[in-house]
Amino acid sequence: MPESREWLTQWLRDAHAMEEQAETMLSGQLSRLDSYPDLSARIRTHLAETKEQARRLKSCLDGIDEGSSTLKDAGAKLTAMAQSISGVFAGDEVMKGSLASYTFEHMEIASYKILKAAAQAAGEAEIARVCEQNLREEEAMAEWLKDNLAQITEIFLARADADSRNAKR
């Protein structure tokens, strides 16, 4: 196998693990956003997209007779679980989660741009198409967060001023 193809395979596995991590992270956040209905609804939508992105990546790997990496997937999920658990103890969990989500979205965007270019270079049009589709969904989530971070912050601060225990959830 040419080295460029090996890199494409490795990066697809990395992206699959990244989506597994995102699923765990989003699920953890979602369970603690009772007082933020707009954020909760958008995360719920993106969680469904994330699951579909992971499925698409697995299909790409299967299509080139490669599989996802169980070790990478498990490591990513463990990392996300640790992040999720640590947020439970933060008084500003919704803000830390929003910051982490915005940052994570941009890492995903960069990953899919790289993957798309690698797939095109390898002549893998279907993989490039999947990466473009995943990229557009990640860009939409990053844009939503960018447009709503100020509002989330204002809601958090208003709730904190009223009763600091209520701001967290």
Structural domains of the chain, with CATH: 3-167 (1.20.1260.10)
Query: From the first residue on, what is the mean pLDDT of each consecutive set of 10 residues in the chain (169 residues)?
Result: 86 94 92 89 98 96 70 47 47 89 97 97 96 98 98 93 65
Dihedral sign computed on CA atoms, order 137, 141, 144, 146: negative
Instruction: State how far the Cα of 162 lies from the Cα of 169, in Å rounded to an integer.
Output: 13
Burial of 82 (0-12, 13-18, 19+ CB in 10 A): exposed
How far is residue 166's CA from residue 169's CA, in Å, rounded to a whole number? 6
Q: What is the pLDDT of residue 1?
A: 55
Cα–Cα dist 141/70, whole Å: 27
Half-sphere exposure (Cβ direction) of 129: Cα atoms closer than 13 Å: 5
**C-alpha count within 13 angstroms, C-beta hemisphere, residue 33:** 23
In this prediction, residue 118 carries a pLDDT of 97
